[in-house]
Structure 1
Amino acid sequence: MARFMDVHHGMKGITAEQLRAAHTADQAIEGEEGVHFQQTWADPESGTVYCLSEAPTKEAVQRVHARTGHPADEIHPVPLSA
Structure 2
Amino acid sequence: MPLYMDIHNIGGGVSVDDVVKAHMADLRVQSKYDVSYLRYWVDEDRGKIFCLAEAPSAEAAHAVHREAHGLVADEIYQVQEGS
TM category (shorter chain) comes to over 0.9
Give structure 1 regions of 4+ aligned residues with deviation exceeding 4 angstroms: none
Q: Alpha-carbon deviation of 1:55?
A: 0.5
Ranges in structure 1 where 5+ consecutive residues have no aligned partner: none
- SS state of the match for residue 5, structure 2? strand
Structure-2-length-normalised TM-score: 0.91
- SS state of the match for residue 41, structure 1? strand
CA 1:43–1:12: 2 relative to 1, 3 Å: farther
- SS state of the match for residue 75, structure 1? strand
2:65 maps to which residue? Answer: 65
Give the distance between the partners of 1:41 and 1:70, measured in 2 at CA.
15
Give the distance between the partners of 1:2 and 1:33, measured in 2 at CA.
14
For 1:14-44, what per-residue CA distance to the aligned partner results, in whole angstroms no more than 9, with x for missing partners? 2221111010000100000000000011111
- Identity among equivalent pairs (%): 34
Give the distance between the partners of 1:63 and 1:81, measured in 2 at CA.
26
- SS state of the match for residue 29, structure 1? helix
Give the distance between the partners of 1:5 and 1:15, measured in 2 at CA.
20
Number of residue equivalences: 82
- SS state of the match for residue 14, structure 2? coil
| Paired residues of 1:41 and 1:49 also in contact (CA < 8 A) | yes
